[in-house]
Amino acid sequence: MPGTSTLAAEVTHVSPKGFWLLLGEEELLVPFDEFPWFRQATIEQICTLEWPTADHLYWPLLDIDLSVESIRHPEDFPLKAKPVQA
């Protein structure tokens, strides 16, 4: 039986350009230009965040999964899905 995750992630600031994540002692910017799926999201959707493994983040209200490395080094992940147009 797997243990309980002890990793804690927190959104510390949201601005018109993106939002800041605190992952342990590391703070990362998630810019909307690089991650457009979050641009129209509510504060609640952005702040409801899970960090199940060291390199995996999940936003359950948006059904978005991201690698932490893709936030640290977006230039290494050139293929991106486009946001769905409503």
Residue-wise pLDDT tens digits, 59-85:
999 999 999 999 999 888 776 655 556
CA–CA dist 49, 65 (Å, integer) = 10
**The domain containing residue 62 runs over which residues?**
9-76
User: Into how many domains does the chain fold?
Assistant: 1
CA–CA dist 35, 25 (Å, integer) = 22
pTM (predicted TM-score)? 0.80
**CATH number of 59's domain:** 3.30.2020
Residue-wise pLDDT tens digits, 1-28:
455 555 789 999 999 999 999 999 999 9
86 occurs within a structural domain: no
30 occurs within a structural domain: yes
84 occurs within a structural domain: no
Q: How far is CA 47 from CA 10, 15, 38, 42, 65, in A?
A: 7, 13, 11, 9, 14
